Amino acid sequence: MNAQNESTDVRTQIVTLARELGFDLCRFARADAPEHATQFLDWLDRGEGGEMNYLARNAEKRCDPQQVLPEAKTVIILALNYFQGEPVGAAVAAAVSPANPPKITASTAAPTSAGRIARYAWGDDYHLVIEKKLAFLDDFLRRHGGSQKCYVDTGPMLERDHAAAAGVGWHGKSTMLLNRRLGTWFFLAEILTTLEFAPDPPQKNYCGRCTRCIDACPTDAIRPDRTIISARCISYATIEHRGPLEIEVGSNAFGCDICQEVCPWNRDPAPSHEAFTPRDEYRATPVTDLLRYEQADFSTLFRKNAVRRAKLAGMQRNVTACQEAQTRD
């Protein structure tokens, strides 16, 4: 078997293994500089990264995969669907049926009760779920002579650029990556490897003239040029920002799904993986209970869950803001 055929065979095995591990997509891109490197640096220079100082610390690495892994030749991009049912109401997670999810329409984006949690945080922490899967792929690649860096939005890479280059989807106007089958409801992971594989072609942009995500954002955080003003973003405010809230967060206690819920490509979402099913204790716990929680209670309820990122003080701040917004309304 010549080198090209061997590479093709290994590539096929990687895709097969990724599917067996539960990934919905596995695609390949060259380990080149990301398309929006200059725009990213300009965005940081304008101070629009807010308190996300980690972005600036590794800014140059994010713009050059060779600084992350010398002699890197390929970025393997993996996508994992996380969609789970209706928007959260009074409880930390709603009693949903992942096997028979409802269709998403613009009307579902209108918040009706305080304390919504973004869908991606309803189940197990996606970092922990996906990192275990990446370890199997890393081991497979090492056995074929590769050196790797594996990340789940934890490494210095502009992952959406690499994913777009690999044809996982296209850059939506909300800045989210869009896929015609999965919409925006998916996590991204990437493996930077010294092995060389043929790249996949990029996808066409199917947003057209639609501006629903921009129009629906209650804080005008989304610019028409596909950038986000962090200081105005509800997800940023409720998760990354420390101290008093500087914007209205409405009914969103952790993150925000509004721009995703109005997207036409999310009208008929596919059911997600079991790991992201809301835990029973979330279904039974009103978000307002967090106001009386001590740290031990919070740590127990959100063990191995993404909500811990906001910390107890942040969640109590957010829930209080949601209650105040509901009272005003």
> Are 293 and 310 spatial neighbours (Cβ–Cβ below 8 Å)?
no
CB burial of 233-254 (b: ≥16 within 10 Å; e: otherwise) equals bbbbbbbbbeeebebebbbbbb
> Are 51 and 69 spatial neighbours (Cβ–Cβ below 8 Å)?
no
- The token pair at 141 is 């690649």
State the Cα–Cα distance between residues 252 and 286, nearest whole angstrom: 14
Annotated catalytic residues are 153
- The token pair at 5 is 């055929």
How far is residue 277 from each of residues 120, 169, 282, measured CA to CA in Å? 10, 24, 10
User: One-letter amino acid identity for 90?
Assistant: A
- Residue 61: exposed, middle, or buried by beta-carbon count in 10 A (0-12, 13-18, 19+)? middle
State the Cα–Cα distance between residues 110 and 271, nearest whole angstrom: 22
